[in-house]
Amino acid sequence: MSSKTTDRSQPGSIKPIEAADRELALAAQRYIVAALDHCRAASITVTTAEGSQPKVEVPPAALRLIGQLLGLLGEGRPVVLLPEDKEFTTVEAANFLNVSRPFVIKEIEANRLPCRKVGTHRRVAFGDLLQYAQQMRARQAGALEKMAENARELGLEY
């Protein structure tokens, strides 16, 4: 039996799955969640290509993650797995935020987005990028709410 591992330093993109596989993913998620509801120790049985069925002990936290992953795949959503300590270039950060690279540079220079320098290149930690994205969404939601309030005051409701 050969074992295959993945490179843990690279993000892994998991594409949406077909409708029939979505049903399987949702069913598997339900079984995993139900099993986790009843006990803390968890194991799964895997059927190999040779037909053997070894029992694999899995930490409950890992099974919860697998359950969440199956749920997202069952909904037909693409998933990206990243190591927590991943650092992004300014181009990658801009792509993640769906903004321009010059905007990311401006935010870094205004100290609104932390970074570290590697030589002359900037690197943004994934955690900092997530926190910034949440703050950006909160600011956007606040601005939209203010616009809606202004529209109501002016009688421009629609």
Element holding 44 (H helix, E strand):
strand 43-45
Mean pLDDT of 130-153: 93
Q: Which amino acid belongs to residue 112?
A: R
pLDDT tens for 85-121 read: 899 999 999 999 999 999 999 999 999 999 999 999 9
What is the residue range of 75's domain? 12-81
Residues 97 and 125 in one domain: yes
| 4 falls within a domain | no
**Longest CA–CA separation in the chain, Å:** 72
Work out the percent of the chain whose per-residue pLDDT is above 70: 88
- Residue 86 tokens, joined: 């991943």
| Domain at 111, CATH number | 1.10.1660.10
How many domains does the structure of the chain reveal?
Answer: 2
Residues 75 and 92 in one domain: no
**pTM given for the model:** 0.59
| 126 falls within a domain | yes
| 6 falls within a domain | no
- What pairing do the DSSP bridges indicate for beta strands 43-45 and 121-125? unpaired
